[in-house]
């Protein structure tokens, strides 16, 4: 067993408490990673608040990065000493995985939110011998060490700053992939991105990489809109001050945008994004509200105008291909995601979350 220090949520909307735990031994397909950095994502807070049915107590964290310390007997992809980013879990054998879309794995919810290994219920244990769920997104990276599977570790260039790379495994991958992999905008096209958090700003940077001529960022936070301009937005709309966001977007474009990405998770904003599309426009739904939430959308507007609404999980990314590509963009100066980052010591996780919820930190990263 491996001794670890972990941040554990024990009750709904509770604080993250530091615990000394033990990780059980590796299974043949697993990898032990010493965590060097872990991003904090809104999905971690969604799990903490029980908006998704996640078992507690649990070690959360699903944007980990670090150094491989040990591998199981069947692991071929990485070896001890490799630098890796941890990403979402998938089974690899269901129909959607075999079709090359593991982000829609038929066991996705259980593997990523169920807090258990794929083939057993073994968990971390505390000093009183009680189990703590430790498989959040098959990693639970709010800990000094994490056990992941061969499928959800991505080997990365050792020249990249390993403590910074964790968010590429989820939030930043999601926003950039929604544009690059899902919408696939053509050069010279127009796009509106609703929400200027880490996911939305990643979408802004991706739209610039794709050569979009008009990139409109929409948010209520003036500072984030200013950063959006720095990262590639050609226009910004402050939806807290603008009376009619849709009309403003149509003023800036020819009858609306070709593409949109909705990253806020607010149903009314999704309705705006649909209305802001021009004929045959396409919107990617990325923001996730609580289960059961619906949006008020005119079906005839979709039908008559030929508009499309697509759901996007994890940026429609094949992580082993896409994450190294994002790192190359970063190293070439095309994808400066470090401008989104505020670093905190691991012990200061609750302070980092408070700053995130107050809008003072776009993408907090815990360093170890």
**pLDDT at residue number 292:** 80
**Which phi and psi angles does 26 have, rounded to 5°?**
-70, 145
**Edge-to-edge, what's the strand order for the sheet holding 124-126?**
58-59, 2-9, 16-23, 124-126, 131-132
| Residue 290 pLDDT > 80 | no
| DSSP structure string for 204-221 | HHHHHHHT-SEEEEEES-
pLDDT-derived band at 123 (thresholds 50, 70, 90) equals low
**Residue 365, beta-bridge partner list:** 39, 343
**pLDDT at residue number 1:** 82
The whole-angstrom distance between residue 359's C-alpha and the CA centroid of its chain comes to: 17
Residue pLDDT, tens place only, 355-366: 999 989 999 999
Contact between 118 and 181 under an 8 Å Cβ cutoff? The reply is no
Residue pLDDT, tens place only, 191-227: 999 999 999 999 999 999 999 999 999 999 999 999 9
pTM of the predicted protein model: 0.94
Listed range (5-14, 16-25, 97-106, 284-293) with the worst mean pLDDT? 284-293
**Please, what is the average pLDDT of the chain?**
94
The crossing angle, in degrees rounded to 10, of helices 222-231 and 198-210 is 30
Q: CA 319 → CA 10, 88, 152, 153, 322, distances in Å?
A: 31, 9, 8, 9, 5
Question: Tokens 């244990």 label which residue?
Answer: 125
Report how far residue 329's alpha carbon sits from residue 327's, in angstroms, rounded to the nearest whole number: 5
pLDDT-derived band at 138 (thresholds 50, 70, 90) equals very high
């Amino acid at each position: 067993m491996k001794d670890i220090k972990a941040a554990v949520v024990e009750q709904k909307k509770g604080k993250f408490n530091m615990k000394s735990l033990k990780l059980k031994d590796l299974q043949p397909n697993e990898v032990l990673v010493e965590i060097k950095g872990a991003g904090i994502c809104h999905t971690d807070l969604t799990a903490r608040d029980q908006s998704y049915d996640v078992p507690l107590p649990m070690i959360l964290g699903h944007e980990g990065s670090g150094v491989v310390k040990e591998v199981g007997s069947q692991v071929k992809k990485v070896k001890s000493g490799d630098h890796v980013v941890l990403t979402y879990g998938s089974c690899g054998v269901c129909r959607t995985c075999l079709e090359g879309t593991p982000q829609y794995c038929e066991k996705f919810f259980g593997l990523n939110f169920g807090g258990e290994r794929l083939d057993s219920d073994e968990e971390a244990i505390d000093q009183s011998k009680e189990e703590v769920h430790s498989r959040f997104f098959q990693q639970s990276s709010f800990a000094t060490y994490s056990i992941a599977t061969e499928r959800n570790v991505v080997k990365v260039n050792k020249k990249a700053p390993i403590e910074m790379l964790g968010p590429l495994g989820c939030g930043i991958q999601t926003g950039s992939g929604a544009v690059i992999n899902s919408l696939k905008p053509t050069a010279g096209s127009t796009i509106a991105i609703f929400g200027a958090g880490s996911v939305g700003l990643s979408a802004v940077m991706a739209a610039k990489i794709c050569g979009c001529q008009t990139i409109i960022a929409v948010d209520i936070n003036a500072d984030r809109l200013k950063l959006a301009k720095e990262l590639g937005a050609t226009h910004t709309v402050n939806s807290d001050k603008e009376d009619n966001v849709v009309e403003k977007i149509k003023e800036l474009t020819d009858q609306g945008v070709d593409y949109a990405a909705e990253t806020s998770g607010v149903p009314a904003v999704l309705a705006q994004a649909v209305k802001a599309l021009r004929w045959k426009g396409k919107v990617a739904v990325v923001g996730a509200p609580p289960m059961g939430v619906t949006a008020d959308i005119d079906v005839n507007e979709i039908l008559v105008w030929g508009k499309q609404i697509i759901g996007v999980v994890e940026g429609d990314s094949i992580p082993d291909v896409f994450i190294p590509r994002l790192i190359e963009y970063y190293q070439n100066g095309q994808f400066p995601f470090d401008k989104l980052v505020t670093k905190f010591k691991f012990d200061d996780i609750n302070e980092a979350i408070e700053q995130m919820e107050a809008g003072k930190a776009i993408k907090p990263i815990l360093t170890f």
